[in-house]
């Protein structure tokens, strides 16, 4: 009998989670960027620079920098942040966002390995 209650509890939890995601509480955006470093996935400053900045923003739930695809995929709460603000944060870290280049002073903060050769 406990097994049946456990199964029902788990099933109801997943149905609540799926409903919450489909009610507009999450949105996703994939932003094209430029990564010139060949070791960004392992570097202590390259990948974390953009991820830490995005996770510090309210409403950002998940961030994935894909070096090979040259994209940053962000899952966020659209009631707290929008895709334009996400792009501004990315630009502020020194990386390009959907073809827009960062300000010179933001780009200058990147490590030498992260800059265009």
Under a CB-based contact definition with an 8 Å cutoff, are residues 114 and 36 in contact?
yes
Which pLDDT tens digit goes with each residue over 99-113? 999 999 999 988 887
For the whole model, what pTM was predicted? 0.75
Residues 6+ apart with CB under 8 A from 31: 71, 72, 73, 74, 83, 86, 87, 90, 97, 98
Which CATH architecture does the domain made up of 26-114 adopt? 2-Layer Sandwich (3.30)
With bands split at pLDDT 50, 70 and 90, how would you rate the model's confidence at 78? Answer: very high
Under a CB-based contact definition with an 8 Å cutoff, are residues 75 and 62 in contact?
yes
Which pLDDT tens digit goes with each residue over 16-37? 343 344 456 899 999 999 877 7
Give me the residue label for tokens 């334009």: 84
């Amino acid at each position: 009998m406990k097994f049946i209650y456990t199964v029902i509890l788990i099933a109801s939890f997943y149905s609540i989670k799926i409903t919450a995601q489909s009610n507009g509480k999450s949105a996703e955006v994939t932003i094209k960027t430029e990564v010139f470093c060949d070791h960004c996935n392992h570097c202590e400053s390259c990948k974390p620079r953009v991820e830490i900045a995005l996770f510090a923003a309210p409403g950002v739930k998940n961030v994935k920098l894909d070096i090979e695809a040259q994209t940053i995929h962000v899952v966020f709460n659209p009631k707290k942040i929008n895709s334009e603000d996400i792009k501004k944060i990315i630009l502020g870290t020194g990386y390009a966002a959907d073809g827009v280049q960062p300000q010179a002073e933001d780009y200058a903060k990147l490590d030498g390995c992260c800059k265009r050769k």
